Each structure stands twice: as structure tokens, then as C-alpha cells.
Structure 1
Amino acid sequence: MMRSDFAAFWPTVRRMLLMLALLGVWPAQAATVRVLQVDGVIGPASADFIVRGLAPAADLEAVVIALDTPGGLDTSMRQIIKAILASPVPVITYVTPEGARAASAGTFILYASHVAAMAPATNVGAASPVAVGGMPGGGRPSPKADDGGDDKSDASDKTQKSADKTGPMTPSLGDDTLARKATNDAIAYIRSLAELRGRNVDFAERAVREAASLSAEAALREGVIEVLAVDVPDLLKQIDGKEVALPAGKRTLATAGAVIDNREPDWRTRMLAVLANPQLALVLMMIGFYGLFVEFTSPGFGVPGVAGGICLLLAMYAFQMLPINWAGVALVALGMILLVAEVLMPSFGVLGVGGIVSIVLGGLFLLDQEAPGFAVPLPFIAGTAVAAAALVFLAGTLFLRSRRRPLSSGAEEMLGLTGQVTVTEGVDSWALVHGESWRVSSRRPLNPGERVRVTGIDGLVLTVEPIESDQGSPS
């Protein structure tokens, strides 16, 4: 009886033993860590790349931003930081490879991340905001901003001595209210990030106020970063077991042996990086304007109008991604209109010079702020203005020359041509003019072989007059 009962339950027992064996030897699925490669200026393209990389990351163990940047736009930086602070998974910013840097906007991103790491021979800092054209005051920092001291002359002397030892520093704030507002806003922002992550607050403020910078070893020693790693696998090994604070609560990292999912910028990001260039946007705007001008003045071909419309729309798309001063765009547009008006109106160069000056001023005022990789240098602006003026004047010269040429088509071309009478039937006569047989009429009867000159045209009938002597062969 007992033997039969055991035989009945044996299949169930065998399945249970098999499941226990599988649970004992089957390896658990490894965690996945996504690595976003960000190399270059922080702009709309890199912001879009990072935000899209963080959006579908809920099933990941962590996201690593492999960063190497000289800085970038404030708007793009804040967009990235907002995405990091709201990320459901830990974000590790890793300044890599050796020789890379996290300057300016990169410093803010490093401070905002849950874990900050750097590779050897890298640096971080120099996060002072820079306005278009720099700041007044000779290019040296002002000690008066938020120093809390009473003796301003002593502070000025100390700063001057420090500047003499260390060389030029950030542009002076002086009495420029806008500059002080931008600097104090940046200081408050990076201090809040440092306090949130428990990192060195003093260096964060000095990085903005004095453009201070640290090497990777010094940053680790002073509590700016948590990890110094030679590569991504070493980084994941060192942060394994580290506890980080997320919006949903605290979380312990399990990154040792994680699967690395490398993400390079795709075609969309590369295209945005090309378009988000103020120099290219300026050139596209000019090509678009002049393409439409050529199409409107000489309709029928179509290519200038189509190309001009596409370039103008691309320029507008680039402008809306950048911190553009629309007064600068309006000045550039006014300059192009004045150059065209110079060709069509006898202003003796006044409109042309005004157009060049307007384009140069518009280019200088084009950006609300200056950042690495997004500046519009004066030589480029001047060269663009001169090239636009030369193109317009060349087109105007060709246009005026074409107006002086004799007509080569149409009814007016027939006036003055000579021909020879071929057939005469009563009052009707035909003559060979311009290689074609035309019906002609004259005040007196015509004879075959007689030479005539065209004096008028009425529909398909030419009015001619006889030529008394041979004054040339038929045209």
C-alpha cells in the first residue's frame, strides 16, 4: 500500500526536485546600465539626446553620462538637469576619457547627478556665466559681489594681487546689474545642487564666481566627486552597493557585472547639432532670402524659390532652438532688404552701406548669450556682409547689362529687320524675314525680289517699306 502511494506521488516530487535544481544553478539575469556618450558643447542636440536617453530608462539599473564638454548653453544645461533630477533611475556623470573636462555647464551637470565620477587626468570647474561680448571692467573678477565685507578697497587690492599671481580670470561684473544677476543666479543654482547631493559647496561657488577648476584627484580629495575610475567597468564595480536618493525613495546600486548598453548620438542628434549653429543659421537665412528674391524677380525656373524656401525654414528652425535676440535677426533682414534696394534704386551707395552696417550689427546682437561653440565672431559677420553685398551688386550689374542689350525675342525684335519679297499675288505679298515667310503690306505695290524693311507689325502681318538701295542682307 505504501509502495503504491509513493509511486503515485513520485512524478510530483520529481518535478519539485527539478525546479529546486534549476533555481540553484540557473544564473540570475544581469542588470543593464546604459551609457550615453556626450562629446562636445552642451546645446539643443545634446540636451535632446540625454533627455531621450533618460526617458525610457525605468527598467535600467542606472544611466551613465560619459561627458567631455567645454560648456554650452544655459537653457540646454537646465533642461538636462531637470531630466536628471526627475529620473526614476540613478544617473552617474562620468568625465571621460583621460584628458576630458566638465567645464562650465558640465560642472552643473556633474553636481546634479546622483553619482559624480571622473577619469584620471581630467578636470572640472570654470563655470562662470559669460554674456555676449564679455562683461565690462577689464576682464577681472569683482570682489564686491556678495563678499559681505566692509572695506571695499582692501578687497579690491586683494583681488588685484590674486589676479596678478594667477593670471586673467572671469570677466568683471563691475556695476553691470545684468552680469551680477546672472552670476548670483548661477551661484544659487549650483549651491542648491551641491547641497542636494552633499558635495563641496565652497568649490561650487568658486567655480562660478572665480572660474576655479580642479583636477580629478583634487576633486576626489575635496569632495566634489565620489569616484575616480579608469573606465566604465571600473566605475560600475566601485559604485556597486552605493545608496542613492531618488524621487521614489532610496535605492542601492547593483552594478557589478552589469551589461553595458552604449548609446552613441544618432542621425537626429547629429542633424540637430549641425542646425543648432548660429553661423550656419545666418548663412541659411541669407540664402533663403536671396533665393526667394531671385524667384520673385525672375519667375519660371523654380529652383531658387524652392531652395530659398527650404533654407529660410531651416534657418527659422535653428533660431528657435538657440537663445536668439530677434532684434538681431530683424537687423540682418533689414540689411539684406537695403542691399537689394541699392540695386533697384539710385541711392549712390547710401542704401548699400546702410545694408552692410545693419547686417554687421545684427550679427553682433544675434545671440543673447555667448557659449563655447555658439559664438558668432566679428570676422565671420563682416565677411558674410561683404559677400552678401558683392553678390547683390554682381546680380544688379548683370541685370543692368541685360536691360541695355537689344531685344532678341518677341514682336519688338522684328522692327528694323530687312527681308526680300518672294511672292506677290494682287494686293497680297509675302516676304522672307528672319528666315520665315511673312505676309507683308506696304503703301505701294511690291515686286518679287525687292528688298524691304519692317516698320511695324499687326498680328501676323508685317508693315514694310521698300529699300531703294542694298543696305545689308536679310537677317
Structure 2
Amino acid sequence: QVHDIVARVLAGRGIGIDEAPGFLAPSLRDLTPDPSVLTDMDRAAERIADAVRDTEVPVYAFVNRRAFSAGALIALATDRVYMLPGSVIGAATPVGGTGEKAPEKIVSAMRSEMRALAEEHGLDPRVAEAMVDEEIEIEGVIERGKLLTLTTAEAEALGYAEQVESWDALVVAVGGSATTPVQDVQTNWAEKLVRVLTHPAVAPFLLSIGFLGLLVEIKTPGLGLGGAAGFLALSLFFGSHLILGLAGWEDMLVFGLGVVLLAVEAFVLPGFGIFGVLGLGGVAAGLYMSMLGSFPTTADLAQATGVLGASVIMMVVTGWALLRRIPTSGRLARRGILLETETDRSLGYISAAVRADLIGREGVADTDLRPTGAGLFGDERIDVVSETGWIPRGGRIRVVQSQGYRHVVRGITE
């Protein structure tokens, strides 16, 4: 089976002009029997086609029996197409993961790609379009309502291919000889690692470890194991998707902006407000987009949703169990970011209830109000929320509302 990583293999791996026949390796031909049934092959084919067009090394396509869908696109991107007798090429309509025809947006993009390749090689672009869209009619070639697939003889008559009798005949046709060595390009260890890291069963673990590591680092600050593990896991997630061509720098920028907004909400302007909502949205959008390409299919969207959902579930369950067992950093408690004090009844604390008698009472803030905290009214300590934003500890306050468990106070400035 051909994986997305083949796009990078064909982009050039240090293969010089003398080793060009290696691009025609039989093993590569055997690995692409019918790309139309493989997930993401249309997107992978686009990257392979771009790599073939950009290379300075002459590249030729050898159609051994059939080149459907993505195979047709890649073949047209090469300098010349050679076909064995009895072979066929065409039927390049994009399909979804379940075999249904792709949405018109994706079909239109594929149609334009095929037309551009045909024009680039001086061929009739209508023939290439008819391989994608059954609505294209060409007199004497294909009628409306049928998808175009060409035999070797038909492709040769239209200038789309040249017939060769064998592999050895192809090598001779492109300037080689029967003794020309063939180089088999193999997937290296780095490409295999990227394949593992982007697998739907592995990606959720990377995301979970990344965020849990950062949470542990926030709760127990200092450059430690939690922060290092979180940074490494997120780097592996984004790096692998970036190499594979799914993620872009804009996705990482959106994710980073979301993290910054969450930090502002947590450390600069506490209280779950607009920065927190925008931050969560940015983080989720960055992660989601990093798992999609330019033209995601329904299967791509479902897979990305599944990975993100599994990550959230793992983070909630593991985070709840883990953070309960990690002591709060004294440094954060002293800064008022995390509270260590227990509001036990034996220590004089009472739960907030309907207290109409509190309205109008004056007291002092017993903690910094950010905007929530505790107020001291005589010898009674009550949980309160500031109506006017941040109030420092010791500031004078007055109760202006008491609604159930919510006691609203206002700072006294006079």
C-alpha cells in the first residue's frame, strides 16, 4: 500500500541524474495497483505530482495494466507516459472513504489539476477533464454521462501515451539499455517514525501527554519533567503532521495564540471570560486544522474529530486522577493563582446561603478578589465576588447583592 509519506520520497532523496531510472522501480509500480481505494490518495497524489513537476530529473510513467484515479494524475504529471499493450488509464473522479463520489468542490479541484497538466504537456485538456467529470463530452471520444478511460491504443492516438512492449523496451525508450541498473527507493526510519506518530491511535496519546505535562508544570512550576514531557509530546505531534504536509505554520500560529490567550486569562485577568473562551477556541482550532489537509474528505473530518475527542477524554480522566495527587506549589499559592487554604466550618467558615441580612454590610477583602475570593465582615468570613473587578486584600468592600450562593461586593473608595 502507498502511504502519504511517498509524496516526500518522490520529492527527491539525493538521487542524481545518473540514478534517474531508479524512479521507475518496479516495486513502486507494484505498490500502486488501484489508488482509488486507498484513503487520502488524491491528496497524496497531488503532492507527488507537484514533486514530479518540480524535479529537474526526467521522470516517466510506466502503466502496467491500469492507472486509475490518483495513478492517472501522477502519470500525467510526468514527462511522458508509456503503457503496456492492453493497459488503461483514466477514471480519475475523486471518491470518499466509503467509495462515494466526492463533493463538487473536490471534483472541481481535481478537474482543474488534470486540465493544467494536459495543457502543460501540450495535450487536449478536454480529454483530461473527461477522466474526472462525466459531464464532459468529446465528439468521437466520449459521450456525456460516461467517465473517460483510455486503452493503450486510444491514449496513443490522442497523444497521451506511447506503447511499449516490455519494461526493458521502456528503459531503452527513455535512453537507457537492457543492463541499466534499477534503484529501489525504500522508506527510511524517519519516515516510518512519522507514520507512527501521525497514526490515529498514537496522536491522542501525544496530545494528552502534552497538555497533562503542561498542567503539571503549572501546578508545580520550575523547568521539570512535566514541562519537558509536555513540550516534547506537542512538538512530536505538530512536527510529524508538519512533515507529512497536513499541518501548516498557520495552524501552529492559531494554536500558539490560543495558548497565549489562556495564559492571559489565568495569570493576568483571572475569571473565565472572553480570553478564556477565545483561548480554548484557538487551541481546539489549531489542533483540528493540523490534522487536515487542503481538501479534507468526510473521512478526514471524522478521523480528526475522533482523535481530538479521544484526547479530551483521556486528558479529563487522567488529569483529574493525576492532579489530585500532586501538591500545590507554594509559589503559586503565595501569588494567589492557586489557593491552599481550606474553608472548614471548624475554622469559622460557612457556606454561602441566602443572606438578605448581608446586603449593605461593610467589611474588608480577606484575600485578593480576582474577582472571586473571601471577605471578612466582623468575625464572619464569606465567599464573595467583586462587581468592580480586582480588589486587593485589605480593601474595604460593601455587599450589594446576595443571590443564593453568590454574594456580590463593591469596593469602597471614599
State the TM-score, normalizing by the size of structure 2.
0.53
Secondary structure at the residue paired with 1:387? helix
Does residue 1:388 correspond to 2:315, yes or no?
yes
| Residue number in structure 2 paired with 1:169 | 101
Q: Aligned partners of 2:121 and 2:214: how far apart in 1? A: 54
Report whether the alignment pairs 1:238 with 2:206: no
* Cα distance, 1:331–1:210 mapped onto 2, change above 3 Å: farther
Contact persistence 1:126–1:208 (CA under 8 A): yes
Matched with 2:189 is 267
- For the pair 1:222 / 2:145, whether they are aligned, the reply is no
Distance 1:277 1:307 in 2: 20
- The answer (yes or no) to whether the contact 1:85–1:112 under 8 Å persists in 2 is yes
Say whether 1:326 aligns with 2:251.
Answer: yes
Q: How does 1:352-363 map to 2 (within 5 A)?
A: none
Structure 2 residue matching 1:193: 3-state secondary structure = helix
Q: Distance in 2 between matches of 1:266 and 1:282?
A: 25
User: What is the CA distance between 1:92 and its match in structure 2?
Assistant: 2.4
Counterparts in 2 of 1:401 and 1:323: CA distance versus 1, 3 Å: closer
Residues 1:81 and 2:45 are matched in the alignment: no
Q: Distance in 2 between matches of 1:80 and 1:383?
A: 31
Which residue is equivalent to 2:23? 63
In 2, Cα distance between equivalents of 1:189 and 1:227? 24
CA contact 2:82–2:161 (8 Å) conserved in 1 = yes
| 1:128 and 2:59 are equivalent in the alignment | no
Task: Decide whether the 8 Å contact of 1:62 with 1:90 is kept in 2.
Answer: no
Residues 1:370 and 2:296 are matched in the alignment: yes
Alpha-carbon distance change, 58 to 314 in structure 1, aligned in 2, over 3 angstroms: same
Confirm or deny: 8 A CA contact 1:102 1:125 kept in the other structure. Answer: yes
User: Partner of 1:50 in structure 2?
Assistant: 10
CA contact (8 A) 1:61 1:253 kept: no
User: Rg bigger for which structure?
Assistant: 1
Take 1:306 and 1:107, find their aligned partners in 2: how far apart are those partners? 46
Q: Identity across aligned pairs (percent)? A: 20
SS in 1 for 2:213: helix
Give the residue type in structure 1 aligned to 2:305.
L
CA gap 1:52/1:188 in 2 versus in 1, 3 angstroms = same
What SS is found at the alignment partner of 1:289?
helix
Which of 79, 93, 98 is the equivalent residue of 1:114?
A: 79
Give, in whole Å, the separation in 2 of the partners of 1:169 and 1:60. Answer: 36
**Residue number among 187, 191, 214 corresponding to 2:115 in the alignment:** 191
**TM-score of the two chains, using structure 1 as the length reference:** 0.47
Q: 1:41 and 2:7 equivalent?
A: no
The one-letter amino acid paired with 1:110 is: A
Could you tell me how far apart the structure 1 residues matched to 2:328 and 2:171 are?
Answer: 77
In the TM superposition, residue 304 of structure 1 has moved relative to its aligned partner by 2.8
TM-aligned CA distance change 1:220 to 1:91, over 3 Å: same
SS in 1 for 2:182: strand
State how far apart, in whole Å, the 2-side matches of 1:277 and 1:95 are: 31
Q: CA deviation at 1:354?
A: 11
Deviation at 1:392, TM superposition (A): 2.1
**2-structure distance, mates of 1:386, 1:358:** 19
Return the structure number with greater relative CO, CA threshold 8 A, min gap 6.
1
Larger fraction in strand: 1
Counterpart Cα distance in 2 of 1:189 and 1:269 = 27
| Superposition CA RMSD, Å | 5.1
CA distance, structure 1, for counterparts of residue 39 and residue 164 of structure 2: 21
Structure 1 residue 64: deviation in Å?
A: 1.0
**CA-to-aligned-CA distance 1:387-443 (integer Å, 9 cap, x gap):** 22212222344459999xxxxxxxxxxxxxxxxxxxxxxxxxxxxxxxxxxxxxxxx
Aligned runs of 1:393-408 on 2, under 5 Å?
Answer: 393-399=320-326
Q: Which amino acid aligns with 1:370?
A: P
Q: Determine helix, strand or coil for the equivalent of 1:52.
A: coil
Per-residue deviation, 1:109: 1.3
Q: Which amino acid aligns with 1:238?
A: A
Please say if residues 60 and 89 of structure 1, whose CA atoms lie closer than 8 Å, have aligned partners that are also in contact.
yes
Q: Distance in 1 between matches of 2:278 and 2:108?
A: 39
Paired residues, what number?
295
The offset of 1:193, in angstroms, is: 1.8
Q: What pairs with 1:399-418 in structure 2 (closer than 5 Å)?
A: 399=326
For 2:20 and 2:288, how far apart are their aligned partners in 1?
45
Q: How far off is 1:89 after superposition?
A: 4.2
How big is each residue's C-alpha offset from its partner over 1:56-97, in whole Å with a ceiling of 9 and x where there is no partner? 23464573162414374777655543443354443223466x
- Contact preservation (8 Å) 2:111, 2:129: yes
CA deviations over 1:112-154 (Å, ceiling 9, x no partner):
1133356889875434388xxx9xxxx9xxxxxxxxxxxxxxx
1:23-73 deviation digits (Å, cap 9, x = unpaired): xxxxxxxxxxxxxxxx4233xx32321122475234645731624143747
Q: Which amino acid aligns with 2:180?
A: A
